[in-house]
Structure 1
Amino acid sequence: MATDFRIQYPNFINRESSLMRFNERVLAMAANPKTPLLERLRYLCIVSSNLDEFFEIRIASLKKKLAHDAKTIGTDGLTPAQAFDLVQKQVHELVEKQYSLLNEDIFPKLRQYGVRIFKQHDYNQIMYDWAKQIFMDEIHPLLTPIGLDPAHPFPRILNKSLNFIVPLEGKDAFGRNATIAIVQAPRALPRLIKVPEEVCGEPHGYTLLSTLMQLFVGEIFPGLSVKGIYQWRVTRNSDLYLEEEVSDLRLALQGELSQRNFGNAVRLEVIKDMPADLVSFLQKEFGLEEADTYYTNGSVNLTRIMPLADIDVGAELNFSPYTASLPAPFNKMSGNPSEMFEAIARQDLLLHHPYQSFQPVIDFLTAAAYDPDVVAIKQTIYRTGADSELMNLLLQAARSGKEVTVVVELMARFDEQTNINWAAQLEEVGAHVVYGVVGHKTHAKMALVLRRENKKIVRYGHIGTGNYHPRTARLYTDFGLLTSDKEITADMDQVFSLLTGVGTRRPLKTLLQSPFTLHEGMLKHIQHEIAQAQQGKKAKIMLKMNSLIEPQAINALYEASQAGVEIDLIVRGVCGLKAGVPGLSENIRLISIVGRFLEHSRVFYFYNEGKETVYLSSADWMDRNFFRRVELACPIKDSHLKKRVINEAFTLALKDNQLAWQGTADGRYEPVRNRRRAFNLHEQLMKLLG
């Protein structure tokens, strides 16, 4: 009799399956009629973007395991084949719901506001004439159709590119029989094309590049009989792998990036009316099977219609505008650099983005760049964007002769090229640029300023839970602490020394650091709460993060639950823990919050005999964050700020009954709904901090 692996390992939820559950919650925002209509469209497109990365990284990893470790059983009790089958079923169901929601609900409602994507059967003669002119002038010259024959093998297809397969009949100019052609859509061509109102009669009319291809494909193949045209795209493994013994990380990574678009195929998306023989032809070409094939009732890449969510239709179709507040004392500063350092010297300052502006962080680095008393700036960079005011400040500081040290993480997924470009610019102006430690991504978020005051060097630091990225700081929830605390800033300096130089590790006084002390430190805090509960004393743990899958940490939380520790988990995305299981985790409450802003902060709370220990951290509780990354957890020492973090990260979040989903024992999530007054965490924090 076959072994039921889920009985053998009953306590862990499959990582990929949990990630699909998260995307179901995101899609629920798109389905929710209370969500403004264009925002519903945005959430639907976000799901497509998430699925792209899911296939490029997670499914690619699963397929590797299928090929090399097919019989290995994971902590979830599943073999790679079982996990793959489980997740593929979830994804197929999710994609079907996605296109049904778009075609049957969102698009029809948008038409009521004059927002319409015109398909081939919607064209009248005026539109047809306009479209043909566009096609002949702007599209046709860029197309390079490839007829497949012994002299024209199947072309090399870029990852996630839009392609068309065209069955043909007839003889070409050389007398060859035409059978199949492949047409690749150049990336220079827009996928979503605005149609003038005088042409279509709608104020917000659009058409797709694929529709123009359908209408005028005959122009590409003169004299041949076109039997159809069908859009498709293939997704490839996009994870990067570098040997640890590389001599130049930047050069090695640059070489890997050039090959990212041509990794092994992991997913095939085809328009639903593509004939079965053509689908089989593509599957064979890419080594994929039916389970890897997704039939779309519309565009094969819904992220291409994301710009529709930003058009100006009416205020009621988007979230109401929100401007982050500039709290005291930052709102009273005149721009004199010394004001910033004097304010931080008086007391620690806490920022909660996006409710409070990211501008004080920019102002902190501006003060550092222009203050003549600042002698050095040290900073980690994980994601910052291609056009970053912050990076320009570091360039300015280096040009002015300050010692600027930047730890640039070149392996920040999908931001590698941007970071390579910034690293090169920083080196050109004399900054010290290092790439951390090969094999350990530098994910910690910290900036340190060294200032000469009264013939002594005084340190000022910023340490946070999110990236130094002004755009995402308007969309992601994160905490940031500005401090001149001598122990914290000395620890930060020591971490920078470890990253930039060589030498043995010395103990840090206050910060916990991966891969050395963070995992051990968290387990010790959990064990302390267990000991308190076993003595009949109050014991409580509250954790907020993006992902929770590290087995030792989960087992420790299970042990704490069984000892009577009260545990609240706020985990936005992947969670391998089963909450509320009798005898295992009945004292654990698990919620996920999905709403207007992306929950991104990592905050760890332990009751600690009433002393209430609270950490801000860059780390989720995953194997990679604990053991293969440089991460930090920083304690909040100021009692007032500690109360703020507890309230804003936990107390208010646990009251939410509009955005919150409660995790169940079998890994599903149910909306938190009760008879209390409606409580929306994001709206409450906008009111509280705005």
Structure 2
Amino acid sequence: MASEDPRETARARTPSIAPADAPDAFDADDASVSDAAWYLNRELGELSFHHRVLHEALDDENPLAERAKFLAIFTGNLDEFFMKRVGGLKQQIDAGVTELSPDGKTPNEQWRAVLSRADGLLEEQDRCYRERVRPALADAGVRILDYGDLTAAERRGLRSYFEASVLPTLTPLRFDPAASFPFISNLSLSVAVLTRDNPEGDVRFSRVKVPPNRPRLVSVADVTGTDAAGVDAADVEATPAESAADSHRFVYVEDVICANLDLLFPNVEVVDTSLFRVTRNAEVRRNEEVAEGLVDSIEDVLRQRRFATVVRLELDADAPAFVRDLLVEHLDVSDEEVYERRGRIDYRCLFDLAAVDRPDLRLPEWTPQPHPRLADSDPDRPDELFAEIRSGDVLVHHPYHSFAGTVQTFLAAAANDPKVLAIKATIYRTAPDSSVINTLIDAASREKQVAVMVELKARFDEENNLRWVKRLEEEGIHVAYGTLGLKTHTKTALVVREEADGVQLYSHVATGNYHSETAKTYTDLGLLTADRDVGRDLVKLFNFFTGHARHTEYEKLLVAPETMREAFVRLVRREADHARAGRDARIVAKMNSLEDPQMVRELYEASQAGVDIDLVVRGICRLRPGVPGLSETVSVSSVVGRFLEHSRIFYFHNAGDSEYYIGSADWMTRNLDRRVEAVAPVEDELLRHELDAILQTLLADNRKRWVMDADGGYERLRPDDGEEELVAQDVLMSLARADAEHAARRQTVSDGW
């Protein structure tokens, strides 16, 4: 591993993102590594990551469609945060839990802190949309219009569209003494409509759900057939460029609804309309021990989630007090849980702008490249593929390498191969039309033994996984649903193949899911290996999934909750011992989150011993880096770019006899103690160089990398004057493309051209 220290990189900083929380007063000379002051808050740390995501929308150096996409991503992130994390805190408060977090906060203190912090982030999102992204899009010819901006002809066209295509889908639900308050589903956008029969009559409330199956951004030209001037487009000759520009004009469907409510509420006065949205708690559980079965338990959770407690109410800032009071009362939320929005409620529709025919507003398309060693692999020629893996381990890196050309081809070759006896795989999240699942079904139809571990408790994927479980069982495949008290998070597959010299085991151990879509946007690593020890470890692991045996010893894999925590602690302490003995000592760890208090303590103690530690942590980080006497040898970076950093890499220098690991686990308590995880050693020297290159590239990024300070704040690096800009993900794309081109040229030469 290269020794260059990224802390010494010259930097021109952007305005910093505020600290994850305000640190308590502490004295570096007098503090123990166990003191609460040394641990940042987990919930506020996650919000800090979401703020870094929002910054991608604020960054005017990003293409406009990319900025709009990040507004949408931020909305989805905050939605999930409220459903999971805020919902969990609210449950703890309701249950009277007063236990302190590692940073010394009660659930109630954390709840109030995150509600306040989220309020500021949502205000910043609204400002970004109102003042920066929407005006910039308009300047570029993509206009999101207010209804008043439309011509009379366009309004007539939209009224016809509303009457024919939207009105039939609407169901107004009134609330009055004769009707109960309507049920408001999770994350549904609603219009609060106030009406009265006459000027002296009482105002009445109705809720109209904005239909999720109608386009949220309605193309004015497509619906009305008019150009930008409101003239019938069929009567006007236009250049292709002009026609394209005219088509990029949109209006929100809720504005169309509100402008035409007289068709839904005839013969009454519409006094006011305002938009609102509720977020419900997703932290509903059923005791697995008393459920009739895990499938029954998950189905019950899905039902409960629909009616769970409201944890957030988003409401138009100019909504009448009557509407606010009524919603607060009947949704049973406090004032702190009401978020007044001064932009749009729910920006997820901005994903649709990526489909606009304006490539100049988007990043250049990226096509995952063939892996140099697997470029000619064909599922119909399995002998060649398995011989290649047996000749040496293969490291695949998505989305730089094609998922279809690597992992999917590996499984498809196994399904087609008459020499393959069995295929086993774990499924945590997968695509709704999963090619991986269909391949496993195909393998079973060819009379191979197929066993699949499907984790039914994968949050927000329960319903999709339930469907796959039923389909797999219908095909006669051995299916395990998970284990009581543990969530199976491993990303592993095993192929058992009969060869001339006996039965051979081929393994895939990865950091990411068997999901063809996320493999295009998440950075993940996978190891394809014929290492017999790794294969035997996976045999044990799959026997644990499907049987009752719980193995406590593994030859090479680090497996949670059995051996992983102890192994990582041992590896960190070994580096500390090397440093105390005056030998070179270094740790580089890349992960999604560093939350586990014990691992933070171990890193503090290693730093105090003199170990150089570079952490690349995408999201939550409890550790305070750079504190004199405690963590002055530790740096923490976070890379936020076009792809979601999701791979986990662990490097330990070991006085020159280095060790490298990749796998599914972060350094979080849930990963180390409450999930089944697998991390594999990478022993091939060439593959170690590849991991080095990835880590060094990430640590050299001076455009998309954020550096954390001791208070939990982040500042993004910028190139100095005259310094070349380096974007790690761009570099890795270029390397993957160059490797693929080199392999193609080499193949052309070998073919005799």
| TM-score between both structures, scaled by the size of structure 1 | 0.96
Counterpart in the other structure of 1:329: 373
Q: Does residue 726 of structure 2 align to residue 679 of structure 1?
A: yes
Q: How far apart in 1 are the matches of 2:76 and 2:226?
A: 32
2:299 counterpart letter in structure 1:
Q
Counterpart in the other structure of 1:668: 713
Counterpart in the other structure of 1:597: 643
> Is contact 1:171-1:178 (8 Å) kept?
no
Q: How far apart in 1 are the matches of 2:396 and 2:208?
A: 51
Structure 2's unaligned 5+ residue stretches are: 1-22, 27-34, 229-245, 738-753
Question: What's the offset of the Cα at 1:70?
Answer: 5.3
Q: How far apart in 1 are the matches of 2:350 and 2:688?
A: 43
Q: How far apart in 1 are the matches of 2:540 and 2:201?
A: 71
Question: What's the offset of the Cα at 1:673?
Answer: 3.0
Correspondences of 1:284-683 after superposition (within 5 Å)? 284-313=329-358, 315-334=359-378, 335-358=380-403, 359-454=405-500, 456-648=502-694, 650-675=695-720, 676-683=723-730
Counterpart in the other structure of 1:227: 271
- Residue 260 of structure 2 aligns to a residue in which SS? helix
Q: Deviations over 1:391-410 (max 9, x none)?
A: 11001011111100000011
| Partner of residue 50 from structure 2, selected from 11, 17, 23 | 23
Tell which has more relative contact order, 1 or 2 (C-alpha 8 A, sep 6+): 2
Counterpart in the other structure of 2:188: 161
Counterpart in the other structure of 2:740: none
Q: Deviations over 1:619-673 (max 9, x none)?
A: 011111011100011000111111211221x111111111100011011101123
Question: What's the offset of the Cα at 1:586?
Answer: 0.7
> Is contact 1:362-1:390 (8 Å) kept?
yes
Question: What's the offset of the Cα at 1:239?
Answer: 2.4
Question: What's the offset of the Cα at 1:389?
Answer: 1.1
Q: How far apart in 1 are the matches of 2:284 and 2:91?
A: 13
> Is contact 1:5-1:77 (8 Å) kept?
no
Counterpart in the other structure of 1:191: 216
> Is contact 1:376-1:404 (8 Å) kept?
yes
> Is contact 1:513-1:630 (8 Å) kept?
yes
Q: Deviations over 1:344-385 (max 9, x none)?
A: 111111111111111211111111001011110000001111
> Is contact 2:590-2:647 (8 Å) kept?
yes
> What value does the CA root-mean-square deviation take over the aligned residues?
1.7
Q: How far apart in 2 are the matches of 1:51 and 1:220?
A: 33
Question: What's the offset of the Cα at 1:255?
Answer: 2.4
> Is contact 2:490-2:678 (8 Å) kept?
yes
> Is contact 1:5-1:78 (8 Å) kept?
no
Counterpart in the other structure of 2:235: none
| Partner of residue 253 from structure 2, selected from 197, 209, 213 | 209
Q: How far apart in 2 are the matches of 1:262 and 1:114?
A: 43
Q: Deviations over 1:191-210 (max 9, x none)?
A: 22222264251221111121
Question: What's the offset of the Cα at 1:677?
Answer: 2.2
Q: Deviations over 1:475-522 (max 9, x none)?
A: 111111110001011111111111110124241110010011111110
Q: How far apart in 2 are the matches of 1:382 and 1:514?
A: 16
Q: How far apart in 1 are the matches of 2:372 and 2:276?
A: 53
Question: What's the offset of the Cα at 1:77?
Answer: 1.5
Bigger shift: 326-335 or 462-471?
Answer: 326-335
Question: What's the offset of the Cα at 1:288?
Answer: 1.1
Q: Deviations over 1:517-567 (max 9, x none)?
A: 111110000111111111111111110000010000000000111110100
- Residue 257 of structure 1 aligns to a residue in which SS? helix
Q: How far apart in 2 are the matches of 1:457 and 1:103?
A: 63
- Residue 576 of structure 1 aligns to a residue in which SS? coil
1:316 counterpart letter in structure 2:
D
Bigger shift: 285-294 or 565-574?
Answer: 285-294
- Residue 630 of structure 2 aligns to a residue in which SS? coil
Question: What's the offset of the Cα at 1:126?
Answer: 0.5
- Residue 375 of structure 2 aligns to a residue in which SS? helix
Question: What's the offset of the Cα at 1:119?
Answer: 1.5
> Is contact 1:118-1:207 (8 Å) kept?
yes
Counterpart in the other structure of 2:110: 83
Question: What's the offset of the Cα at 1:72?
Answer: 2.7
- Residue 542 of structure 1 aligns to a residue in which SS? strand
Q: How far apart in 2 are the matches of 1:687 and 1:100?
A: 35
> Is contact 1:6-1:78 (8 Å) kept?
no
Bigger shift: 45-54 or 221-230?
Answer: 221-230
| Partner of residue 98 from structure 1, selected from 115, 120, 125 | 125
Bigger shift: 466-475 or 133-142?
Answer: 133-142
Question: What's the offset of the Cα at 1:277?
Answer: 2.4
With over 3 angstroms needed to count, the CA separation of the structure-2 counterparts of 1:200 and 1:584, relative to structure 1, is farther
Percent identical residues = 38
| Partner of residue 181 from structure 1, selected from 206, 212, 216 | 206
| Partner of residue 278 from structure 1, selected from 315, 323, 327 | 323
With over 3 angstroms needed to count, the CA separation of the structure-2 counterparts of 1:673 and 1:455, relative to structure 1, is closer
Bigger shift: 276-285 or 674-683?
Answer: 674-683
> Is contact 1:6-1:76 (8 Å) kept?
no
Q: How far apart in 1 are the matches of 2:523 and 2:683?
A: 21
> Is contact 1:580-1:664 (8 Å) kept?
yes
Q: How far apart in 1 are the matches of 2:147 and 2:92?
A: 43
Q: How far apart in 1 are the matches of 2:214 and 2:129?
A: 24
Q: How far apart in 2 are the matches of 1:219 and 1:247?
A: 49
Q: Deviations over 1:227-263 (max 9, x none)?
A: 1111111100012413131332112212221232221
> Is contact 2:496-2:504 (8 Å) kept?
yes
Structure 1's unaligned 5+ residue stretches are: none
Question: What's the offset of the Cα at 1:6?
Answer: 6.5
Q: Deviations over 1:59-98 (max 9, x none)?
A: 1111122223453321112222222222222211111111
Q: How far apart in 2 are the matches of 1:588 and 1:92?
A: 32
Correspondences of 1:5-16 after superposition (within 5 Å)? 9-16=36-43
Q: Does residue 713 of structure 2 align to residue 688 of structure 1?
A: no
Counterpart in the other structure of 1:63: 90
Counterpart in the other structure of 1:267: 312
> Is contact 2:198-2:269 (8 Å) kept?
no
> Is contact 1:237-1:260 (8 Å) kept?
yes
> Is contact 1:604-1:616 (8 Å) kept?
yes
- Residue 144 of structure 1 aligns to a residue in which SS? coil
With over 3 angstroms needed to count, the CA separation of the structure-2 counterparts of 1:580 and 1:278, relative to structure 1, is same
Q: Deviations over 1:579-610 (max 9, x none)?
A: 11111111100000001111000111111121
Count of paired positions: 683
> Is contact 2:703-2:719 (8 Å) kept?
no
2:573 counterpart letter in structure 1:
Q
2:397 counterpart letter in structure 1:
H
Question: What's the offset of the Cα at 1:309?
Answer: 2.4
With over 3 angstroms needed to count, the CA separation of the structure-2 counterparts of 1:543 and 1:65, relative to structure 1, is same
Q: How far apart in 2 are the matches of 1:21 and 1:180?
A: 38
- Residue 272 of structure 2 aligns to a residue in which SS? coil
Question: What's the offset of the Cα at 1:5?
Answer: 6.6
